[in-house]
Structure 1
Amino acid sequence: MAASSSTPVRHPLTFGLPWPEFNDGLSYNDDVSLSDSGSTLIKFYSSKYKSSAPLQGWLQRIQNGQITVEGRVVTDPNTVLRVGTQLVYHRLPWKEPDAPHMLEVLYEDDDMIALNKPSCLQVLPGGLFQQRTVLTQLQWQASLQSTSVGHQRAHPVPVHRLGRGTSGILLCAKTQLARARLATHFADGTSGIGGKRDNNKELGKIAKIYRALVTGRIDRDKVIINQPIGTVKYPGVAKGLYVASPSGKPALSVVDVLERDIQGNSTLVQVQIQSGRPHQIRIHLSFIGHPLLGDPLYVVGGQPKFVDCKFLDESHAEDGGYQKPTQPVPGDCGYHLHAHQLVLSHPTTGEVIEIIATLPSILQTREETMEISIK
């Protein structure tokens, strides 16, 4: 690992606070626009946020006193709104699903920090996970450090995402400059460090290498997958589910076979991605007929296991929102995918830095397992 402008962390550190039983709930603010003036309270919420709750769910929330108009609780759903009125929807505290809370620090300097994210921990708030996220632990850690040094410190912010079920390296920026430059590196593509591509353009400034365990035996030693990735409507996924789609955005994955397990009917692979579309590796490997072992969502062809996604459950849960989907969703865990290696150009010094996250035992080759046992 190359040195940066400040003294980097070169040994594993861990941090993390246990999750409270219930989160703090949330508040969502709105100002009534000119186009919404004259609407009723129920029409405003049921039309503007129909992906959050069905009509009956919004009625329940209003009648529960969870919405304030100009700071005053209003329980009449037919209250007429005027332009400029301030609305607040108060989402009640709830018990989020179980999630790990400890994070390992792989690298840290004045500009950035790289974490080893465990599987089943979400990176940013979304859906049922609003508190039990990497971002929350970063905020809590910064608060503890601020208390110890006596002044407020900004918390690091993730500059990319890993799926909830994906483990491994997560890069976070500690300054606005580092955040902007690292975001640019990721936006430019993760196709390698230095040198030239075939079209004589410079390679990207980040290279990401993953390990994955897939079903079936991949016969070729190297597979290049350039299947575009787009979205389709899918219950429980408000912005649509990412799938293999001819009309989607370009995506490139390079797959190298590391080991074949004929008896277990599985293949251990290394994957380097260029574009970094959401769920790209899961989609691409399933597209070529080898879904990740244990993947509850994607099947052969890069499509969801359940293709009939027109049905929408209009019933609502206790908090008024939609019931948790019974069919698999992208955040479900069970597959084996690990962001193992990250090589990047440092956002301020330009030096090349290599970061490695220890492999889970199930993603180690037999030779690697033997070497570890000898040590």
Structure 2
Amino acid sequence: MMYEFLIDDSNQNSRLDVFLANEVELSRSEIQKLIDDKKVLVNEKFQKKNYKLNLNDKIKLEYEKPDKTIKPQKYDLDVVYEDDYLAIINKDKNVIVHPTETIYSDTLVNYLMYNFENLSDVDGDYRRGIVHRLDKDTTGLIIIAKDNDTHSKLKEIIKNHEITKTYLCIVHGKIDEFGTIEEYMTRNPKDRKKMMISDEGKLSISNYERLDYNDDYSLVKVQIKTGRTHQIRVHMNYIHHPILGDKLYGLKKEKILFDSQVLHAYNLQFVHPQTNENINVIGNLKQDFITAIKKTKLDYTKIPSKL
């Protein structure tokens, strides 16, 4: 679809990207990308995003409005536990948990809608069934609620720290045999995609145990007492043992190259909010993690089969 605008005296001297962001249902960053992609013309010429508009400028914007409806998509989910109230999925790498304002497909929610008849919707269609999150490239266990009552009770369990979450990761260097990291975390004001250690943030606690090591790498089990965004990734970097393959917090140059962090949500333990059953589930390692163990020459058998 082609949008056309004629600049009058009320909009002259405005920036090109600011003007368009106010005229169409797109964020400023989305508008800037369209400008960079040569989808915007001013008087039949390409201009930069900071171009100052003049009276009678003619703007053309080529843009197909996306369908923001969240639709079911076929996907073979690794379901490790399921009952009438909830399910636990062993999530793959490169899967975003829920849609955003710019991403409407190929998320876990799309796949859940295809695979499950009932999902909670207390947090809206974009987060159907989603009780907690995992980063896009973190693999492993994530709990799905099938109804709103179960969803609310699971949220309360997580809020009250009545769930045990255990992760596995491979980090650089020989880490201490045992340790606790207890620091305050907040979002990095210089880079909103990142978190950082700061006294102004919220308390974050991780307990770790080294399972195996060599001169270059350590295989680590981490139990988190809190669930801050990027918590384990930030904590490991903070103690100078960044996670292998971590593009945000890891080493800029690595001997062994991986395209994402080697981090896996391995075990969940909690009391079922509806049946009072003790739930203790392990999510088998994905192939990328197994490959990382082999390449770093760590011992796979040191990983506990039961927790």
TM, length-normalised to structure 1: 0.57
Q: Closer, same or farther in 2 for the Cα pair 1:241/1:62, shift >3 Å?
A: farther
Shift of 1:90: 2.1
- Structure 2 distance, partners of 1:57, 1:349, is 55
Tell whether the 8 Å contact from 1:336 to 1:363 is kept in structure 2 after alignment.
Answer: no
Shift of 1:45: 4.7
Output one character per residue of 1:142-175: Cα deviation in whole Å (capped at 9) or x when no partner.
3xx5xxxxxxx44761211111111110100001
Q: Is 1:250 the counterpart of 2:224 in the alignment?
A: no
Alignment-derived partner of residue 65 in structure 2: 90
- Structure 1 distance, partners of 2:180, 2:228, is 16
Shift of 1:110: 0.5
Alignment-derived partner of residue 355 in structure 1: 281
Output one character per residue of 1:81-123: Cα deviation in whole Å (capped at 9) or x when no partner.
xxxxxxxx92379xxxxxx943211000000000110111111
- Structure 2 distance, partners of 1:101, 1:41, is 40
Shift of 1:368: 1.7
- Structure 2 distance, partners of 1:55, 1:135, is 26
Shift of 1:185: 1.4
AA matched with 1:158: I
5+ residue gaps, structure 2, are 1-17, 43-57, 69-73, 121-127, 253-257
Question: Which residue among 276, 298, 301 is the counterpart of 1:368?
Answer: 301
Alignment-derived partner of residue 291 in structure 1: 242
Q: Closer, same or farther in 2 for the Cα pair 1:260/1:185, shift >3 Å?
A: same
Shift of 1:249: 1.1
Shift of 1:183: 1.1
Tell whether the 8 Å contact from 2:183 to 2:203 is kept in structure 1 after alignment.
Answer: yes
Describe the SS at the equivalent of 1:44. Answer: helix
Q: Which protein has greater RCO, CA pairs closer than 8 Å, 6+ apart?
A: 1
- Mapping for residues 146-185 of structure 1, pairs under 5 Å: 153-154=118-119, 157-185=129-157
AA matched with 2:177: D
Aligned residues: 247
Describe the SS at the equivalent of 2:244. Answer: coil
Fraction of identical pairs, as percent: 27
Alignment-derived partner of residue 25 in structure 1: none
Tell whether the 8 Å contact from 2:170 to 2:262 is kept in structure 1 after alignment.
Answer: yes
Shift of 1:186: 1.5
AA matched with 1:49: S
- Structure 2 distance, partners of 1:347, 1:160, is 15
- Structure 2 distance, partners of 1:297, 1:183, is 28
Q: Closer, same or farther in 2 for the Cα pair 1:371/1:257, shift >3 Å?
A: closer
Tell whether the 8 Å contact from 1:178 to 1:347 is kept in structure 2 after alignment.
Answer: yes
Describe the SS at the equivalent of 1:54. Answer: helix
Shift of 1:366: 2.5
Tell whether the 8 Å contact from 2:119 to 2:145 is kept in structure 1 after alignment.
Answer: no
Q: Closer, same or farther in 2 for the Cα pair 1:62/1:124, shift >3 Å?
A: farther
- Structure 2 distance, partners of 1:211, 1:371, is 10
Shift of 1:261: 1.7
Shift of 1:217: 0.8
Tell whether the 8 Å contact from 1:234 to 1:240 is kept in structure 2 after alignment.
Answer: no
Alignment-derived partner of residue 198 in structure 1: none
Alignment-derived partner of residue 216 in structure 1: 173
- Structure 1 distance, partners of 2:194, 2:40, is 28
- Structure 2 distance, partners of 1:289, 1:55, is 36
5+ residue gaps, structure 1, are 1-39, 64-75, 78-88, 94-99, 146-152, 189-203, 306-331
Output one character per residue of 1:13-57: Cα deviation in whole Å (capped at 9) or x when no partner.
xxxxxxxxxxxxxxxxxxxxxxxxxxx974625899334433974
Shift of 1:62: 11
Measured on the aligned residues, the alpha-carbon RMSD in Å equals 3.7
- Structure 2 distance, partners of 1:90, 1:133, is 20
Q: Is 1:232 the counterpart of 2:161 in the alignment?
A: no
- Structure 2 distance, partners of 1:294, 1:370, is 20
- Structure 2 distance, partners of 1:45, 1:187, is 41
Question: Which residue among 260, 274, 291 is the counterpart of 1:334?
Answer: 260
Tell whether the 8 Å contact from 1:214 to 1:293 is kept in structure 2 after alignment.
Answer: yes
TM, length-normalised to structure 2: 0.69
Tell whether the 8 Å contact from 1:101 to 1:121 is kept in structure 2 after alignment.
Answer: no
- Structure 1 distance, partners of 2:21, 2:300, is 63
- Mapping for residues 55-66 of structure 1, pairs under 5 Å: 57=35
Describe the SS at the equivalent of 2:65. Answer: strand
Describe the SS at the equivalent of 1:53. Answer: helix
Alignment-derived partner of residue 281 in structure 1: 232
Q: Closer, same or farther in 2 for the Cα pair 1:52/1:254, shift >3 Å?
A: same
Tell whether the 8 Å contact from 1:46 to 1:55 is kept in structure 2 after alignment.
Answer: no
Describe the SS at the equivalent of 2:194. Answer: strand
Tell whether the 8 Å contact from 1:212 to 1:363 is kept in structure 2 after alignment.
Answer: no
Output one character per residue of 1:181-202: Cα deviation in whole Å (capped at 9) or x when no partner.
11111222xxxxxxxxxxxxxx
Q: Closer, same or farther in 2 for the Cα pair 1:367/1:334, shift >3 Å?
A: closer
